[in-house]
Structure 1
Amino acid sequence: MGFNCVRLTWATEMFTNKAYANLTVAQSLERWNLVAASFGMSLNNPDLMNKTLIETQKTVIDALGHENLMVILDNHVSFPIWCCDWNDGNGFFKDLHFHPVEWVQGLSTVAKLYKGNPTVVAISLRNELRGPRQNEFDWYQFMEEGATAVHLENVDVLVIVSGLSFETDLTFLRQRKLNFGVNVNNKLVYEAHWYAFADPPEKWIFSTNEFCAEITEWFMSQTGYVIYERSPTPIFLSEFGKDQNGASEAENRYFICVMALLADKDLEWALWAMQGSYYLREGQVEWEEPYGMYSFAWDKIRNSSILQLMELNQQMIQDPTSEYASYYAMYHPQTGRCVSVNKNNVTTSSCHRLQRWGFEYDENGSRITLVGTSGCLTVVADKAPVKVTGDCSSQKSTWKFVSKSKMHLAARDEKGMDLCLEWDSLNSTIVTNKCLCLGDDLGDLPWCSQNPQTQWFKLILTNKHY
């Protein structure tokens, strides 16, 4: 599927409570009367049945390493239950199941266990801190204790730190930075989560341009801003995702918005989730995971179009060690494809090999040039394919961002009408058309019934070389 890393969750008590630490896989499945799962495990992975849960985790990690995959070990919960609820006792330090001393012990044990194992590249201190007890004072104290504990046992792993409110709030770092000392500071990564759960669905469906702009600004102001600080710190979007069955149009549009941001900022990320189903979840046997890459039976990919949507974002877009000059790729996030030129036809194709575009944005409008030529992108007519021509000084080749999403690129035709780039699904070419959902087409209605994402294009700065 093109992924290079697995964010593997673990519970503190698996390492601190002998009732779990000494449990074998067979005993664990038997405890919950998971007959079908036990049969399948015995058939397909018989060597695991008599291993302890910890030994099995090591076996899984070794198998991933054998396939050249990296592992991030994420301390997901303390008491092993489904995560995450506001009042589940696992949310914040000193909660019913979240004892700071035991938590530090678990981090130390795990860090030591995988010392020298190159597959394990990072340890995330805690997933989705939350609940009525959360406060900044305890956050600073215990995050420093946890990071120190990991570093003392394993100097090689990155230390990943989450904020408050289900990993959506790092704003307090503006007033006081974390300071672990230079050795740990140099391998510190913050993490954030971004789902559409709390968003009003009608915002995504009827105000797609505006809401994508608003929610992207919110994400960057709450967490993403750390990459722009005077002493910038990497940030890892360690969870996002959608119902891959396509049941939610709001989530479909949210997902495209996230894809655009990830490409624009070249952020690291992990998609929730890989698993297509669970042996047991919240008391229900054989629970399907609609957000999973795999189908219910794990025998095929649930929705292959997701792979195309993520194609560009699975690549390194900005290589800080590259000696090659930067250029722009033109990305269409709704399809996951990139704009290219083939015999003067402007079309979309795979993002594995990028067409080089030149672009110097000016509020009064800018040319989009084809690097290595004297040609630039030019409007021909309403509903007609856009072309690369030598006419680079007229209004037909002067492009502006005309929506709040900053993804509508428009130029004026000979009649003075603004026309936006648009993906033509019939033949995968790029045409120009009336700009969707910008306000002038709404009349007295406060919403837009059309999906403007066919007209979303993102100019992505890259130095990817072939």
Structure 2
Amino acid sequence: MHIPLLLLPVLGALTQASPIISRASSWPNAPFTTSGRDIKNNLNETVTYAGVNWPGAADTMIPEGLQYQSVSTIMTKIKDLGMNVIRLTYAIEMIDDIYENADTSLKTAFIQALGETNGTKVLNQVLISNPSFTENTTRLEVFDAIAAEAYTQQIYVHLDNHVSKGIWCCGHDDGNAWFGDTYFNVTSWKRGLAFMASHASSWPAFTSISLRNELRTTTNGTGDNWVSWYENMIPAADGIYAANDQPLIFFSGLNYDTQLGTIVNGNDIGNGTAFSLHDHAYADKIIWELHNYANSATSCGSIRSSLRNQGYNAMEGGNVTNKAPVLLTEFGFDQNTASQSVYAQCIKEYLTGLPGGPGGWMQWVISGSYYIRQGEQDKDETWGLLNHDWSEWRNQTAADYTKSFVDATLV
């Protein structure tokens, strides 16, 4: 078994940095820790995330959009909104391939996912848009390039394990739903988390990592119980911490990551056990993450109530057993119509109105299109902040909403 060591060129450059570059290199002032409901950098300054999801976990297992724009262009668009973090998604299958053979090349990945003709076409487009890549550039080297550009533009990298098998997420029947599901091999998952935590230690912009995106029941009703959650999530977090004790570790909940109240409140999980932050060596690294897609909401009250009950009470003060920052790592809406909806405005109002600040959020999604989604190649994404070819904002009004949300979050 051969696992390549992929070294970022930027790291070598740092060893010969001029005094000016050296001063700038103090960013991101990591590692981050938690203090109650806040994230702190190593200067004891409060850090708040305001950013966007950049998918890289679907069929190709390559971050989306690179056939249309360069890594630096996409990152610049993100920075233009004032954002300071990307939630970069990946599939465990990518790491399984590395262990079983070698890191898959761009050429192989595109042809496997899109077929010989279209895969070759998209590959050539990627190479034109990103001339530093070759057909032999590997998937993981693309992630490295994104992380290097994030450092250049001072954007934090949050790694998110989105799925095990590289396909569109998420459903009860996709085989990625719960521990032991068709494609959700728990041993491979833990190995993959530790691998990515270790590998990303060479990325200066890497500050946090999640355990799993949107746990949910399988089609036969298996899953969504706290006992199984505890038995699997804790060893996985232990493995990340053993591999790399620097990043924050994000814990998602049940039911598509909409339920964390039991854990936040320290309630019995169903077998006489209760989660306690203080039981873990990485207690000051734990973040709670939630998702919300209540797009049909007609009042801010319903959104406030649901988020509070799902775990946001940890951010509102009062006596909470497991007080830690809560981040909304997914929310979003159709960019063509919904930026002025009750849902969009209330999410913004609630988070920015929290006493002490919002903790952070990542909007779904930057993608204007996908290489392939659920069998459809070059699939348009109406929820994407960017248009189909990733060149401009899909809707300037929606982009203005996001920019104002960033500004209100990072005051």
Distance 1:244 1:185, change over 3 A: same
Establish whether residue 191 from structure 1 lines up as the match of residue 292 from structure 2. no
Letter in 1 for 2:375: G
Q: 8 Å contact 1:238–1:270 — kept in the other structure?
A: yes
- Pairwise CA distance, 1:70: 0.7
Which residue identity does 2:246 align to in structure 1? D
Indicate conservation of the 8 Å contact 1:190/1:234, yes or no. yes
1:42-81 matches, cutoff 5 A: 42-48=127-133, 49-81=135-167
Q: Which residue of 2 aligns with 1:213?
A: 301
- Counterpart for residue 109 of structure 1: 195
Contact 1:245–1:303 (CA under 8 A) maintained in structure 2? yes
Q: CA RMSD in A?
A: 2.1
Q: Equivalent of 2:330, from 217, 222, 239? A: 239
Distance 1:20 1:12, change over 3 A: farther
The one-letter amino acid paired with 2:125 is G
Measure the CA separation in 2 of the matches of 1:231 and 1:87: 33
Q: C-alpha separation between the residues in 2 aligned to 1:317 and 1:35?
A: 42
- Between 1:158-167 and 1:30-39, the stretch displaced more is 30-39
Cα distance in 2 for partners of 1:123, 1:8 equals 9
User: Which amino acid in 1 is paired with 2:169?
Assistant: C
The one of 6, 9, 23 equivalent to 2:104 is 23
Distance 2:409 2:388 in 1: 33
Could you tell me which runs of 5 or more consecutive residues in structure 1 were left unpaired when the two chains were aligned: 319-463
Q: 1:234 to 1:23 in 2, by over 3 A?
A: same
Separation in structure 2 between the aligned mates of residue 20 and residue 312 of structure 1, nearest angstrom? 46
Aligned equivalent of 2:9: none
In the alignment, is the contact (CA less than 8 A) between 1:123 and 1:159 conserved in 2? Answer: yes
Of 15-24 and 296-305, the range deviating more from structure 2: 15-24
CA offset digits 1:304-327 (Å, max 9, x no partner): 223432345324759xxxxxxxxx
Q: Give the conservation status (yes or no) of the 8 Å contact 2:352–2:409.
A: yes
225 and 315 in structure 1: CA distance in 2 versus 1, 3 angstrom threshold: same
Question: What is the CA-CA distance between 1:20 and the residue it aligns to?
Answer: 8.0
Work out which of the residue numbers 364, 367, 383 in structure 2 matches 1:272.
364
Number of residue-to-residue matches in the alignment = 307
Q: Distance in 2 between matches of 1:126 and 1:314?
A: 25
- Work out the CA distance in 2 between the residues paired with 1:178 and 1:133: 25
Quickly say closer, same or farther: Cα 1:91–1:21, change in 2 above 3 A: farther
Distance in 1 (alpha carbons) for counterparts of 2:188 and 2:383:
32
Which residue number in structure 1 is paired with residue 222 of structure 2? Answer: 133
- Residue 253 of structure 1: CA displacement? 2.1
Q: Deviations over 1:66-116 (max 9, x none)?
A: 111111000000011100001211011111111111111001111111124
The aligned amino acid for 2:252 is S
Does 2:348 match 1:259? yes
Computing the radius of gyration from Cα coordinates, the structure with the larger value is 1
Q: 2:53 maps to what in 1?
A: none
The TM-score with structure 2 as length reference comes to 0.70
SS of 1:112's equivalent? Answer: helix
| Mapped partners of 1:152, 1:50: distance in 2 | 32
Structure 1 residues 377-415: Cα deviation after superposition (integer angstroms, max 9, x where no partner): xxxxxxxxxxxxxxxxxxxxxxxxxxxxxxxxxxxxxxx
SS in 1 for 2:222: coil
Matches within 5 A, 1:11-410: 11-18=91-98, 21-31=102-112, 32-33=114-115, 34-48=119-133, 49-131=135-217, 132-134=221-223, 135-173=225-263, 174=265, 175=267, 176-179=274-277, 181-196=279-294, 201=296, 204=297, 208=298, 211-227=299-315, 228=317, 229-246=320-337, 252-265=341-354, 266-267=357-358, 268-315=360-407
**Aligned-pair distance for 1:230?**
4.4
Structure-2 separation of matches of 1:106 and 1:223: 28
Give SS of 1:287's match: strand
- Match of 2:250, SS state, is strand
1:3 to 67, 80, 83: 83
Shift of 1:182: 5.0
Consecutive unaligned residues in structure 2, runs of 5 or more: 1-80, 268-273
Q: Which moved more, 1:30-39 or 1:167-176?
A: 30-39
Q: Are residues 230 and 75 of structure 1, via their aligned partners in 2, closer, same or farther at CA, if it must alter by over 3 Å? A: same
Match of 1:186, SS state, is helix
Do 1:91 and 1:130's aligned partners in 2 also have CA atoms closer than 8 Å? Answer: yes
Structure with the bigger percentage of helix: 2
**Structure-1 separation of matches of 2:369 and 2:403:** 24
Q: Deviations over 1:193-234 (max 9, x none)?
A: 00035xxx4xx4xxx3xx321232011111212224144210
Superposition deviation, residue 8 in structure 1 = 0.2
Q: Secondary structure at the match of 1:151?
A: helix
* Whole-angstrom CA distance in 1 between matches of 2:400 and 2:254: 33
Kept after mapping to 2: 8 A contact 1:259/1:309 = no
